[in-house]
Chain A
Amino acid sequence: MAHDNLRGRYVIAGIGHTAYGKLPGRDTVSLNVEACRHALADAGIGKDVVDGVLVKVPTSAHQFMYGQKVAEALGIQPRVGGAWDQGGAANIQLISYAIMAIDAGQCDVALVCYADNPRSGSRNVYARPRGDDAAYGWFATAAGYGMIHRRHVIEYGTRPEHFGAVAIASRKHGAQNPDAQVRSALTMEQYLQSPWVVDPLRRDDCALVSDGAAAVVVMSAKRAKSLGVAMPVPVLGFGAGQTSWEVPVRKTLTTTEAVKAGATAFAMAGVTPKEVDVAQIYDCFTITVIQTLEDYGFCAKGKGGEFVSGGRIEHGGELPVNTSGGLLSETGMPGMQLVMEGVRQMRGTARLQVPGAKVSLVSGQGGTMHTHNALILGA
């Protein structure tokens, strides 16, 4: 069981990001430095107090000792640092590790950052052959999610319009975000006419491919006070879960690691889904949002399609989701943009602010629903 003695004692003190979209000529180290510079400025602190640098590896271009390269470019000699790979769930995992490291006295102030440039660089990782099964034509990240999407339809009768509702909400929110890579709202008619990528996935079910970077600063609430941080946002809880089985051999495709991660995070935070005011749910594909909401307990298993319909997850609805546009509209960056929007909602500074929001939930997800991390923030 997660300890609740960490609840509220650690904060996200600063957030920062680069532009999103196509950023040719920038390597990922440079993008990371820019995002960290903005995050430090946002926290109102200098880099001299940073002694932890935790980096998620760039999805499209793994490099040896990448964490040290980023720390070198930052001119920081950290006590705790390195690069971590568990796909898109790594950002929240690293925020969790930062908190645990600080709590154990291993470091004091940590930068957690991510950068990638698959839009101007290589997208090969998303199109990769899947081992010997390439002989059957089994390629690409999207296809694995397509298998999961189809199984949800088989087991629960989830309809195309349900998946469309997820895309429409993200695109509606992204349209109102000047930083978003795609700023066009989407109608159900347009969604249903969107071309197949890998049936059952339409183009508009799929995350954007984006260059960009984002960073957050993690420290104790006490340290934030002593450093005069203006808008610290307390972390109430976090949790993780992983399956190691690849999609073809995984015994269930419709229940995800959000079950474990959510249960741990909610217990640590001492809240229930009913108390969540706004959620940033990893939307690499529309099916991910539907299954994550089910597995966190916002609705019964199999009812996620109905849950996301009727505007419930749009701004002004019962549970606004992905209020800055998510991976489907703001940027395809795997997850840190969701953490930043969760922070803005708790600060009360989001563009599509949920009035009076006190509890903010953020999910991260990696691989093909292999890994899941949940983060609960307070106001």
Chain B
Amino acid sequence: MAHSPVPTPVAPAFPTPDVNELTRPYWDGLKENRLMFQKCRCGNAWLPARRECPNCLGTEWQWTQASGKGCLISWVVYHTSYHDAFKSRLPYNVAIVELDEGPRLITNMVDANETLRGDAQVTLQVGWEGETALARFRMTD
């Protein structure tokens, strides 16, 4: 009987987004370095993805490419991990960025935690976790 190979330690699985019919254009866009947001005929623009415009409640919106430019609204630095995949990354930051086009989103800043500044100008820098492309940002000023 053959011996089973000694299992090699596996990194804890990273949380993956729910990619579905509605959200696929967002996640596929990031894989091609494009950050998409939803823009409605009524003029409202938003993230994250939803089927109905929260302004006019209609469905006449389109995925639209953002410039990737924005502003750092706030951030936190985790010193406690709430998921095994992030244990080895402590201390890591999670930030809120407002895009020049209006929508805000959760992100990570690729800059060192100590260098982050409120209201700093930022630009998209896509990062990969396994098969998922994430909308990360870096400061430009």
Contact = CB atoms under 8 A, between A and B. Distances in A.
Interface of A: 127, 129-140, 143, 146-148, 150-151, 153-155, 195-201, 247-251, 253
Contacts, number: 98
A106 B46 CA distance: 43
Contacts of B86: 137, 139
Interface string B78-107: 111011001001011010100000011111
B94 A143 contact: yes
Contact of B106 (A130, A140, A151, A199): A130
Interface of B: 14-18, 23, 46-48, 73-80, 82-83, 86, 89, 91-92, 94, 96, 103-108, 113, 118-119, 129, 132, 134
A196 B91 CA distance: 10
A150 B82 contact: no
User: Which residue, of B18, B94, B118, has the highest number of chain A Cβ atoms within 10 A?
Assistant: B94
Nearest to A143: B76
Given A132-B23, A198-B80, A248-B105, A137 B92 contact: yes
A147 B74 contact: yes
A171 B94 CA distance: 30
Contact of A129 (B77, B83, B92, B113): B83
A150 B74 contact: yes
Nearest to A133: B106
A221 to B, nearest CB: 43
A200 B76 contact: yes
A132 B14 CA distance: 11
Q: Which 3 pairs across A and B sit closest by C-beta, in order of nearness? A: A154-B118, A139-B82, A132-B17
Contacts of B48: 131-133, 249
A140 B96 contact: no
Given A129-B15, A249-B104, 19 more contacts: A129-B82, A132-B17, A134-B83, A135-B129, A136-B108, A138-B106, A139-B78, A139-B82, A140-B80, A140-B82, A143-B76, A147-B75, A151-B73, A154-B74, A195-B79, A198-B79, A199-B91, A249-B46, A253-B74
Contacts of B82: 127, 129, 139-140
